[in-house]
Amino acid sequence: MDIRIQPSILSADFVNLEADFESISAADGIHVDVMDGHFVPNMTFGPPMVKRMQEIAKVPLDVHLMIENPDHWAPIYAALGVFSVTFHFEACKDAVATARAIRSMGSRAGIAIKPGTAVSAIESIISEFDQVLVMSVEPGFGGQSFIGSSLEKISAVSALIDLHSPQTWLQVDGGIDESNIAEVSKAGADTFVAGSAVFKSSDRNGQIRTLRDLALAAHH
Ligand code: DX5
Ligand code: ZN
Protein backbone atom coordinates (compact mmCIF):
# COMPACT_ATOMS: atom_id res chain seq x y z
CA MET A 1 0.00 0.00 0.00
CA ASP A 2 1.38 3.38 -0.97
CA ILE A 3 0.80 6.23 1.44
CA ARG A 4 1.61 9.77 0.36
CA ILE A 5 2.19 12.81 2.57
CA GLN A 6 1.90 16.15 0.80
CA PRO A 7 2.63 19.27 2.88
CA SER A 8 0.50 22.28 1.90
CA ILE A 9 2.55 25.38 1.15
CA LEU A 10 -0.33 27.56 2.32
CA SER A 11 1.53 27.40 5.65
CA ALA A 12 4.94 28.13 4.07
CA ASP A 13 6.84 31.42 3.82
CA PHE A 14 5.85 32.75 0.39
CA VAL A 15 9.03 34.83 0.03
CA ASN A 16 11.29 31.92 1.00
CA LEU A 17 9.67 29.12 -0.91
CA GLU A 18 12.91 27.58 -2.12
CA ALA A 19 14.18 27.17 1.46
CA ASP A 20 10.79 25.90 2.59
CA PHE A 21 10.73 23.34 -0.25
CA GLU A 22 14.16 22.12 0.92
CA SER A 23 12.85 21.79 4.49
CA ILE A 24 10.24 19.22 3.38
CA SER A 25 12.46 17.05 1.18
CA ALA A 26 11.00 13.87 2.72
CA ALA A 27 7.56 14.71 1.29
CA ASP A 28 5.93 12.58 -1.41
CA GLY A 29 4.63 15.72 -3.06
CA ILE A 30 3.95 19.40 -2.38
CA HIS A 31 0.34 20.54 -2.24
CA VAL A 32 -0.10 23.92 -3.92
CA ASP A 33 -3.27 25.81 -2.95
CA VAL A 34 -4.49 28.21 -5.65
CA MET A 35 -7.30 30.54 -4.45
CA ASP A 36 -9.02 33.28 -6.41
CA GLY A 37 -10.96 35.29 -3.81
CA HIS A 38 -14.23 34.21 -5.47
CA PHE A 39 -14.68 30.47 -5.03
CA VAL A 40 -13.14 30.87 -1.57
CA PRO A 41 -12.80 34.02 0.56
CA ASN A 42 -9.00 34.07 0.31
CA MET A 43 -6.44 34.60 -2.44
CA THR A 44 -2.99 33.15 -3.03
CA PHE A 45 -1.24 33.12 -6.41
CA GLY A 46 -1.66 32.16 -10.05
CA PRO A 47 0.16 30.49 -12.94
CA PRO A 48 3.40 32.59 -12.91
CA MET A 49 4.13 31.56 -9.32
CA VAL A 50 3.28 27.92 -9.94
CA LYS A 51 5.53 27.98 -13.02
CA ARG A 52 8.52 29.02 -10.86
CA MET A 53 7.63 26.44 -8.20
CA GLN A 54 7.61 23.75 -10.87
CA GLU A 55 11.08 24.88 -12.00
CA ILE A 56 12.62 24.54 -8.51
CA ALA A 57 10.62 21.66 -6.99
CA LYS A 58 12.38 18.31 -6.52
CA VAL A 59 9.19 16.45 -5.61
CA PRO A 60 5.90 16.35 -7.57
CA LEU A 61 3.59 19.36 -7.35
CA ASP A 62 -0.05 18.64 -6.55
CA VAL A 63 -2.06 21.72 -7.52
CA HIS A 64 -5.40 22.26 -5.74
CA LEU A 65 -7.52 24.82 -7.59
CA MET A 66 -9.99 26.59 -5.32
CA ILE A 67 -11.14 28.86 -8.12
CA GLU A 68 -14.10 29.59 -10.33
CA ASN A 69 -14.04 28.54 -13.98
CA PRO A 70 -11.63 25.63 -13.58
CA ASP A 71 -12.73 24.40 -17.03
CA HIS A 72 -10.68 27.28 -18.43
CA TRP A 73 -7.83 27.41 -15.90
CA ALA A 74 -7.06 23.76 -15.11
CA PRO A 75 -5.41 22.98 -18.48
CA ILE A 76 -3.29 26.14 -18.11
CA TYR A 77 -1.84 24.73 -14.86
CA ALA A 78 -1.41 21.28 -16.40
CA ALA A 79 0.57 22.89 -19.24
CA LEU A 80 3.16 23.99 -16.65
CA GLY A 81 4.11 20.33 -16.24
CA VAL A 82 2.84 19.85 -12.70
CA PHE A 83 2.19 16.31 -11.45
CA SER A 84 -1.51 16.74 -10.76
CA VAL A 85 -4.28 19.31 -11.08
CA THR A 86 -7.37 19.00 -8.87
CA PHE A 87 -10.42 21.22 -9.34
CA HIS A 88 -13.72 21.53 -7.49
CA PHE A 89 -16.86 19.72 -8.58
CA GLU A 90 -18.90 22.68 -7.27
CA ALA A 91 -17.12 25.14 -9.60
CA CYS A 92 -16.92 23.27 -12.89
CA LYS A 93 -19.26 23.13 -15.86
CA ASP A 94 -18.00 19.95 -17.53
CA ALA A 95 -15.92 17.84 -15.12
CA VAL A 96 -15.24 15.05 -17.61
CA ALA A 97 -14.06 17.36 -20.40
CA THR A 98 -11.81 19.20 -17.97
CA ALA A 99 -10.35 15.95 -16.60
CA ARG A 100 -9.60 14.81 -20.14
CA ALA A 101 -7.98 18.15 -20.98
CA ILE A 102 -5.72 17.89 -17.89
CA ARG A 103 -4.73 14.32 -18.72
CA SER A 104 -4.07 15.13 -22.37
CA MET A 105 -1.40 17.58 -21.17
CA GLY A 106 0.30 14.84 -19.14
CA SER A 107 -0.87 15.71 -15.61
CA ARG A 108 -3.03 13.59 -13.35
CA ALA A 109 -6.58 14.87 -12.90
CA GLY A 110 -8.33 15.27 -9.54
CA ILE A 111 -11.87 16.15 -8.50
CA ALA A 112 -12.48 17.83 -5.12
CA ILE A 113 -15.67 18.01 -3.05
CA LYS A 114 -16.39 20.48 -0.25
CA PRO A 115 -17.74 19.29 3.13
CA GLY A 116 -21.33 20.05 2.10
CA THR A 117 -21.22 18.18 -1.22
CA ALA A 118 -22.65 14.66 -1.31
CA VAL A 119 -20.39 11.81 -2.38
CA SER A 120 -23.09 10.63 -4.80
CA ALA A 121 -22.42 13.73 -6.93
CA ILE A 122 -19.20 12.23 -8.29
CA GLU A 123 -20.15 8.55 -8.54
CA SER A 124 -20.79 8.54 -12.28
CA ILE A 125 -17.55 10.39 -13.15
CA ILE A 126 -15.06 8.89 -10.71
CA SER A 127 -13.38 6.66 -13.29
CA GLU A 128 -12.31 9.77 -15.25
CA PHE A 129 -10.08 10.84 -12.34
CA ASP A 130 -6.68 9.86 -10.98
CA GLN A 131 -7.62 11.18 -7.55
CA VAL A 132 -10.60 12.28 -5.51
CA LEU A 133 -10.04 15.00 -2.91
CA VAL A 134 -12.38 15.00 0.09
CA MET A 135 -12.13 18.37 1.84
CA SER A 136 -12.23 17.90 5.62
CA VAL A 137 -12.49 21.65 6.31
CA GLU A 138 -14.27 24.44 4.43
CA PRO A 139 -11.69 25.43 1.81
CA GLY A 140 -9.99 28.79 2.12
CA PHE A 141 -7.67 28.73 5.10
CA GLY A 142 -5.04 26.58 6.74
CA GLY A 143 -5.03 25.72 10.44
CA GLN A 144 -8.71 24.76 10.80
CA SER A 145 -9.96 21.71 12.73
CA PHE A 146 -10.77 18.45 10.95
CA ILE A 147 -14.55 18.02 10.51
CA GLY A 148 -15.32 14.65 12.12
CA SER A 149 -18.17 13.74 9.77
CA SER A 150 -15.62 13.67 6.92
CA LEU A 151 -14.73 10.14 8.01
CA GLU A 152 -18.05 8.78 6.72
CA LYS A 153 -17.55 10.56 3.41
CA ILE A 154 -14.05 9.15 3.08
CA SER A 155 -15.37 5.63 3.67
CA ALA A 156 -18.11 6.22 1.09
CA VAL A 157 -15.65 7.50 -1.52
CA SER A 158 -13.33 4.59 -0.76
CA ALA A 159 -16.18 2.18 -1.48
CA LEU A 160 -16.97 3.94 -4.77
CA ILE A 161 -13.32 3.78 -5.79
CA ASP A 162 -13.18 0.04 -5.05
CA LEU A 163 -16.29 -0.43 -7.15
CA HIS A 164 -15.64 1.82 -10.14
CA SER A 165 -11.99 2.86 -10.30
CA PRO A 166 -9.50 0.98 -8.07
CA GLN A 167 -6.45 2.88 -9.37
CA THR A 168 -7.84 6.25 -8.24
CA TRP A 169 -6.12 7.81 -5.21
CA LEU A 170 -8.17 9.10 -2.27
CA GLN A 171 -6.79 12.36 -0.92
CA VAL A 172 -7.90 14.21 2.23
CA ASP A 173 -7.15 17.87 2.93
CA GLY A 174 -7.80 19.97 6.02
CA GLY A 175 -6.90 19.63 9.68
CA ILE A 176 -4.82 16.46 9.27
CA ASP A 177 -2.33 15.88 12.09
CA GLU A 178 -0.85 13.18 14.32
CA SER A 179 -4.07 12.91 16.32
CA ASN A 180 -6.34 11.92 13.43
CA ILE A 181 -4.31 10.62 10.47
CA ALA A 182 -4.66 6.99 11.60
CA GLU A 183 -8.46 7.06 11.54
CA VAL A 184 -8.49 8.94 8.23
CA SER A 185 -6.21 6.26 6.78
CA LYS A 186 -8.36 3.52 8.25
CA ALA A 187 -11.40 5.06 6.54
CA GLY A 188 -9.63 4.55 3.21
CA ALA A 189 -7.53 7.63 2.42
CA ASP A 190 -4.08 7.03 0.93
CA THR A 191 -2.93 10.59 0.16
CA PHE A 192 -2.75 13.17 2.94
CA VAL A 193 -2.36 16.94 2.79
CA ALA A 194 -0.97 18.52 5.95
CA GLY A 195 -0.21 22.22 6.16
CA SER A 196 0.14 23.53 9.68
CA ALA A 197 0.99 20.10 11.15
CA VAL A 198 4.17 19.96 9.04
CA PHE A 199 5.18 23.62 8.83
CA LYS A 200 4.73 24.35 12.55
CA SER A 201 6.97 21.44 13.46
CA SER A 202 10.61 22.15 14.37
CA ASP A 203 11.52 18.91 12.54
CA ARG A 204 9.43 19.03 9.38
CA ASN A 205 10.89 15.94 7.71
CA GLY A 206 10.56 14.05 10.99
CA GLN A 207 6.91 15.09 11.18
CA ILE A 208 6.32 13.92 7.59
CA ARG A 209 7.79 10.50 8.46
CA THR A 210 5.72 10.27 11.64
CA LEU A 211 2.52 11.05 9.74
CA ARG A 212 3.41 8.51 7.03
CA ASP A 213 4.17 5.78 9.60
CA LEU A 214 0.89 6.40 11.45
CA ALA A 215 -1.11 6.29 8.20
CA LEU A 216 0.69 3.18 6.98
CA ALA A 217 0.12 1.28 10.23
CA ALA A 218 -3.61 2.05 10.18
CA HIS A 219 -4.30 1.35 6.49
CA HIS A 220 -5.85 -1.97 5.56
C1 DX5 B 1 -7.53 24.71 2.79
C2 DX5 B 1 -6.44 24.18 1.91
C3 DX5 B 1 -5.57 23.23 2.60
C4 DX5 B 1 -4.86 23.80 3.80
C5 DX5 B 1 -4.55 22.68 4.74
O6 DX5 B 1 -8.42 25.44 2.03
O7 DX5 B 1 -6.97 23.54 0.77
O8 DX5 B 1 -4.65 22.61 1.71
O9 DX5 B 1 -3.67 24.48 3.49
O10 DX5 B 1 -3.95 23.21 5.88
P11 DX5 B 1 -4.08 22.49 7.29
O12 DX5 B 1 -3.38 21.17 7.17
O13 DX5 B 1 -3.37 23.44 8.20
O14 DX5 B 1 -5.54 22.33 7.57
ZN1 ZN C 1 -5.64 22.24 -0.41
Does residue 44 surpass a pLDDT of 80? yes
Q: What is the 3-state secondary structure (H, E, C) of 111-163?
A: EEECCCCCHHHHHHHHHHCCEEEEECCCCCCCCCCCCCCHHHHHHHHHHHHHH
- Distance (Å) from CA 200 to ligand 1 centroid: 13
Q: Quote the mean pLDDT of the chain.
A: 98
- At 38, the pLDDT band (50, 70, 90 cuts) reads very high
Spatial neighbors of 12 by CB under 8 A, at least 6 apart, are 20, 199
The percent of residues in the chain predicted with pLDDT above 70, rounded, is 100
- Of residues 141 and 220, which shows the higher confidence score? 141
Q: Is the CB of 175 under 6 A from ligand 1?
A: yes
Can you tell me the mean pLDDT for 157-170?
98
Separation in Å, CA 161 to CA 117, 132, 166, 207: 17, 9, 5, 29
State residue 149's pLDDT score: 97
Separation in Å, CA 37 to CA 78, 116, 168: 21, 19, 30
Domains belonging to the chain, first-starting first, are 4-217 (3.20.20.70)
- Distance (Å) from CA 32 to ligand 1 centroid: 10
Can you tell me the mean pLDDT for 67-80?
98
Can you tell me the mean pLDDT for 73-100?
98
- Distance (Å) from CA 10 to ligand 1 centroid: 7
Does residue 2 surpass a pLDDT of 90? yes
Counting ligands in written order, which one lies closest to the CA of residue 174?
1
State residue 1's pLDDT score: 75
State residue 220's pLDDT score: 76
Q: How far apart are CA 116 and CA 110, in angstroms?
A: 18
Q: Are the CB atoms for 15 and 203 separated by under 8 Å?
A: no
Q: How far apart are CA 2 and CA 151, in angstroms?
A: 20
What DSSP element (H or E) covers 92?
Answer: none
Backbone φ and ψ for 90, nearest 5 degrees, come out as: -65, -20
Counting ligands in written order, which one lies closest to the CA of residue 63?
2
What DSSP element (H or E) covers 63?
Answer: strand 61-66
CB atoms inside a 10 Å sphere around CB 102: 28
The predicted-structure confidence for 124-153, as pLDDT tens digits, reads as follows: 999 999 999 999 999 999 999 999 999 999
Counting ligands in written order, which one lies closest to the CA of residue 137?
1
Backbone φ and ψ for 216, nearest 5 degrees, come out as: -65, -45
Q: Is the CB of 7 under 6 A from ligand 1?
A: no
Q: Is the CB of 34 under 6 A from ligand 1?
A: no
- Distance (Å) from CA 42 to ligand 2 centroid: 12
- At 96, the pLDDT band (50, 70, 90 cuts) reads very high
Can you tell me the mean pLDDT for 110-137?
98
User: Given 36, 62, 173, 177, which residue is catalytic?
Assistant: 173
State residue 6's pLDDT score: 98
Active site annotation includes 33: yes
